[in-house]
Chains A and B, each alone.
Chain A
């Protein structure tokens, strides 16, 4: 069952990474109001996923941490918020936003593949608990993927043609 542990670790690591990225993007682009609010909401989904992964992992003798604290990055947040406000009325941060959305998209897609691997392994081993975990979380990951894709599609024509 080492493969399962491996993939649980990968899922855990990926979701942890995505929480951090979503929170950072929400902070960095808090003058992009929709990005700010939705990214914050979506970080909540990944936190839920982490909770569920670490709960399930215990059954596999794997100690994975729960979700990171929502309010951990206070100081950094104020700094980036101020920077965002100053840069908020210039066009260049648009490029930065596109880059960040692309990164989010890749991270979420990465997680989606991991969930798929986990689901496949679960089916092969007839492990209902694992399958349940994957089917509870994977759809939300796909929604994260679609969101970043939609935002890129909407924003990039304006940003790339106005430079």
Chain B
């Protein structure tokens, strides 16, 4: 198999089938700029993707000081050489002509260019006066899931010990905070129990609200390859949309939005009723089994069928498949995390695995996925609303230990309450108690719920907004100071993917103009603020990526995310390695709980847990009495109806999500020609049934309205569940005349004009999947079709009606199989 494919028309490329328990064959994907031949590449520089949470390892092709393409790394444990469309084409955005190359400050209402000194002094001056007049609680930081570990760690130290503020969070709050919280609730500590290699061994793979084909395309390739090989796995898919996984599933459940807990309780009910549980595992490794059993006793499939609007028999079938698996892998993402009762639902998936004893063995694992590439790093480093090294803010011992690492007094580190979550930071800014907000690498003016509210918060005069980014994003347009940042390929650092694999990403080219790595910006700020430790020495003693990494290793020592065995040199040599990596596990650790539950003892756990409905925190005393020996906890939860239900005025349920060709707020993917052309504008998916009943057709211009606002989009009629609308999120305004908001020439196009301000009380993750909406015809399409791709979940219900999505000559991708394998198999592929 040495072939080239259209990387847009065939986003998962060609197949390299493999059988169960066999290693996944290599396939090296390469895309080079037009006119560049492999022989013209001067250097290949090792890196890993920051466009989704697989952490796809790749080499960047450099020629004449420019990036000219990318190639997958065949040795990498995560991808074995494959790349998804975002990896293959996204890098081009780095060289966009509209990259920020100089700092900007607001003068007389307008942003004007200035030098670094002027910009930084303005920030420092404001920080100091706020610290004097209003204290550390008046300063907040909102970062991303797309920087490197070294940058988060430095930010965490300067915010928590330098400024002394409790207000530091990442946009990973929108993305993966439920994963972290649910792991803490079940296992006492964050950290992925599963491994991507579990895909090779499982006989059943259950995907819960996880559109893996579009969000982690490379791992979907792996599943596709197994589906074509010997002894393929059976798939169970819970998703209201006809995703690629749903199309290939043995059982597909498409529940009403907001009913995940009911569905999962019914699955647990069935599995318990049929006795398909591992008694020994339950006794040895878990607590609270009786409570769980009692709580799901009445949750029959018939009961859930009413609530979820799926046939009871289908639920029974799913329970049968999941219950009879001998190696079960479950993966979970936004369909659960961003929905009603998020944490409660995710914990039930952990429960499913615990009662079946499906943890810690090859093929028996849970992958609580991340959406963003470096979400895991914000969690480890404490840049997301946790303390660094998965330390427990409520455990004085942990805080003392951290204070020792930083050489500060424990009381310097705010720990009187959990670190403030993003939605609450914005609320404080709205009320005026937070007066400075430093936003790095994220675009809340498109990505947070209820955008008109967010815009008005950011536009307030009394709020000083600093934005550090690559482009003049919608958010940057509202800032007081804009700092031009370097990105992936232009700086060095490490990143950790969803299955704990740490990759090193090296600098390949220079950033444009005066743009700087985020690390340098944070270090510069810390130096100018002159933060000191308790002996009067500098608080921050490191000065480049590698020294920062070494500092972080000291902070991680002895914690679950132990990095002490990792070095830059080792990562260059070996490629990705999974933490913990230390003296006991010098090659890394594939499965966290292979030898029982290890981080739930009261003295070591990251959290004492929360009430799954109210979010109230438990005390150490309660935790100790519940779980004295540090076992896994089987926390049950009752179903509660969602907070916004359809009405006569707003008869549809509305959900939002990411799709295969775009990522985050399209800041980069919208600037990669092939990706942009494949999905250039927002659309709205309506079921063929609803469209037919209401007399709407493919391409009609529609208005989607909720009590918060509306957007206009062309209609795509699909096999989505009736009564449901889907809008891809994160289409913003930077590529419209309006710039950062809707106006007369640009109607609303961001999904978050419509979403509700509500969040899961446990993980504080906003709900992007539970609005009620109205749908109104604006104008007939007259032959136009929706700008939605035909390749994935938005495929039209009548395929012939719409031109197929294609990339054309500029989207050719070379795919080269493993030569050794070819010899074995006689080159039959």
Stretch in contact with the other chain, from A7-15, A110-118, A126-134, A152-160: A152-160
Task: Indicate if B320 sits at the interface (CB-CB under 8 A).
Answer: no
How far does the Cβ of B545 sit from chain A's closest Cβ, in whole Å?
34
Of chain B, the residue at the smallest CB distance from A92 is B431
Task: Indicate if A99 sits at the interface (CB-CB under 8 A).
Answer: no
Chain A residues near B759: list those with CB within 8 A. 33-34
Chain B residues near A34: list those with CB within 8 A. 423-424, 615, 759, 761, 764
CA distance A37 to B757 in the complex (A): 10
CA distance A19 to B418 in the complex (A): 28
Chain B residues near A89: list those with CB within 8 A. 430-432, 460
Asked whether A154 lies within 8 Å of B417 as measured between CB atoms, the reply is yes
- Type the 1/0 row for A58-100, where 1 means its CB is closer than 8 Å to any CB of B: 0000000000000000000000000000001111011000000
Asked whether B417 lies within 8 Å of A42 as measured between CB atoms, the reply is no
> Which single member of B135, B432, B616, B757 contacts A33 (CB below 8 Å)?
B757
Given the contacts A33-B757, A38-B761, A162-B138, A147 and B611 also touching, CB distance less than 8 Å:
yes
- Type the 1/0 row for A37-50, where 1 means its CB is closer than 8 Å to any CB of B: 11011101000000
Asked whether A157 lies within 8 Å of B757 as measured between CB atoms, the reply is no
Asked whether B417 lies within 8 Å of A33 as measured between CB atoms, the reply is no
Asked whether B428 lies within 8 Å of A154 as measured between CB atoms, the reply is no
Chain B residues near A154: list those with CB within 8 A. 417-418
Asked whether B614 lies within 8 Å of A143 as measured between CB atoms, the reply is yes
How far does the Cβ of B109 sit from chain A's closest Cβ, in whole Å?
21
Chain B residues near A37: list those with CB within 8 A. 643, 758, 761
How far does the Cβ of B707 sit from chain A's closest Cβ, in whole Å?
12
Chain B residues near A42: list those with CB within 8 A. 614
How far does the Cβ of A49 sit from chain B's closest Cβ, in whole Å?
14
Asked whether A147 lies within 8 Å of B615 as measured between CB atoms, the reply is yes
Task: Indicate if A149 sits at the interface (CB-CB under 8 A).
Answer: yes
Of chain A, the residue at the smallest CB distance from B428 is A158
Chain B residues near A88: list those with CB within 8 A. 430-431
CA distance A162 to B433 in the complex (A): 6
Q: List B404-456 residues whose CB lies under 8 Å from chain A.
A: 416-418, 420, 423-424, 427-428, 430-433
CA distance A89 to B616 in the complex (A): 26
How far does the Cβ of A105 sit from chain B's closest Cβ, in whole Å?
11
Seed contacts A38-B615, A94-B433, A153-B417; 19 additional CB < 8 Å A-B pairs: A34-B761, A37-B643, A44-B640, A88-B430, A90-B431, A90-B432, A93-B431, A143-B613, A143-B614, A144-B614, A146-B616, A150-B616, A150-B617, A157-B137, A159-B433, A161-B135, A162-B134, A162-B428, A162-B433
Given the contacts A37-B643, A41-B613, A147-B611, A161 and B137 also touching, CB distance less than 8 Å:
yes
Task: Indicate if B166 sits at the interface (CB-CB under 8 A).
Answer: yes
Chain B residues near A161: list those with CB within 8 A. 135, 137
> Which single member of B137, B418, B643, B758 contacts A158 (CB below 8 Å)?
B137
Task: Indicate if A32 sits at the interface (CB-CB under 8 A).
Answer: yes
Q: List B302-353 residues whose CB lies under 8 Å from chain A.
A: none
Chain B residues near A38: list those with CB within 8 A. 614-615, 761
Instruction: Please list the residues of chain B having a beta carbon within 8 angstroms of any beta carbon in chain A.
Output: 134-135, 137-138, 166, 416-418, 420, 423-424, 427-428, 430-433, 460, 611, 613-618, 640, 643, 757-759, 761, 764
CA distance A162 to B420 in the complex (A): 15
How far does the Cβ of B292 sit from chain A's closest Cβ, in whole Å?
15
How far does the Cβ of A21 sit from chain B's closest Cβ, in whole Å?
16
**Could you write out 25 A-B pairs with CB less than 8 Å apart?**
A31-B430, A33-B427, A34-B759, A34-B764, A37-B643, A37-B758, A38-B615, A38-B761, A41-B613, A41-B614, A41-B640, A42-B614, A88-B430, A90-B431, A93-B431, A146-B617, A146-B618, A147-B611, A147-B615, A149-B616, A150-B614, A150-B617, A157-B166, A157-B416, A158-B428
Interface size on A, residues (CB 8 A): 29
How far does the Cβ of B444 sit from chain A's closest Cβ, in whole Å?
16
Asked whether B758 lies within 8 Å of A33 as measured between CB atoms, the reply is yes
Of chain A, the residue at the smallest CB distance from B138 is A162
CA distance A107 to B761 in the complex (A): 22
Chain A residues near B617: list those with CB within 8 A. 146, 150, 153
How far does the Cβ of A57 sit from chain B's closest Cβ, in whole Å?
25
Instruction: Please list the residues of chain A having a beta carbon within 8 angstroms of any beta carbon in chain B.
Output: 31-34, 37-38, 40-42, 44, 88-91, 93-94, 143-144, 146-147, 149-150, 153-154, 157-159, 161-162
CA distance A31 to B349 in the complex (A): 33
How far does the Cβ of B759 sit from chain A's closest Cβ, in whole Å?
7
Chain B residues near A31: list those with CB within 8 A. 430
CA distance A150 to B616 in the complex (A): 5
Chain A residues near B135: list those with CB within 8 A. 161-162
Chain B residues near A144: list those with CB within 8 A. 614
Chain A residues near B427: list those with CB within 8 A. 32-33
Chain A residues near B416: list those with CB within 8 A. 153, 157
CA distance A94 to B640 in the complex (A): 28
CA distance A153 to B758 in the complex (A): 21
> Which single member of A32, A44, A150, A157 contacts B615 (CB below 8 Å)?
A150
How far does the Cβ of A109 sit from chain B's closest Cβ, in whole Å?
14
Of chain B, the residue at the smallest CB distance from A44 is B640
Smallest CB-CB A-B distances: 9 pairs: A162-B433, A146-B616, A147-B614, A150-B616, A147-B616, A154-B417, A33-B757, A150-B617, A91-B431
> Which single member of A41, A94, A146, A162 contacts B137 (CB below 8 Å)?
A162
Chain B residues near A147: list those with CB within 8 A. 611, 614-616
How far does the Cβ of B515 sit from chain A's closest Cβ, in whole Å?
34
Chain B residues near A33: list those with CB within 8 A. 423, 427, 757-759
How far does the Cβ of A102 sit from chain B's closest Cβ, in whole Å?
15
Asked whether B611 lies within 8 Å of A91 as measured between CB atoms, the reply is no
Asked whether B430 lies within 8 Å of A91 as measured between CB atoms, the reply is no
Which of A31, A41, A91, A146 has the most chain B CB within a 10 Å cutoff? A146
How far does the Cβ of A90 sit from chain B's closest Cβ, in whole Å?
7
Asked whether A91 lies within 8 Å of B433 as measured between CB atoms, the reply is yes
Of chain B, the residue at the smallest CB distance from A162 is B433
> Which single member of B420, B432, B616 contacts A143 (CB below 8 Å)?
B616
How far does the Cβ of B135 sit from chain A's closest Cβ, in whole Å?
6
Of chain B, the residue at the smallest CB distance from A34 is B761
CA distance A161 to B430 in the complex (A): 16
How far does the Cβ of A156 sit from chain B's closest Cβ, in whole Å?
9
How far does the Cβ of B318 sit from chain A's closest Cβ, in whole Å?
28
CA distance A148 to B640 in the complex (A): 19
Chain A residues near B761: list those with CB within 8 A. 34, 37-38
How far does the Cβ of A137 sit from chain B's closest Cβ, in whole Å?
14
Chain A residues near B424: list those with CB within 8 A. 34
CA distance A40 to B758 in the complex (A): 13
Of chain B, the residue at the smallest CB distance from A36 is B758
How far does the Cβ of B178 sit from chain A's closest Cβ, in whole Å?
15
How far does the Cβ of B428 sit from chain A's closest Cβ, in whole Å?
6
Chain A residues near B134: list those with CB within 8 A. 162
How far does the Cβ of A64 sit from chain B's closest Cβ, in whole Å?
25
How far does the Cβ of A15 sit from chain B's closest Cβ, in whole Å?
17
Of chain A, the residue at the smallest CB distance from B432 is A91
CA distance A41 to B760 in the complex (A): 12
CA distance A144 to B616 in the complex (A): 9
Chain A residues near B433: list those with CB within 8 A. 91, 94, 158-159, 162
Of chain B, the residue at the smallest CB distance from A88 is B430
CA distance A146 to B617 in the complex (A): 8
CA distance A32 to B759 in the complex (A): 11
Chain B residues near A158: list those with CB within 8 A. 137, 420, 428, 433
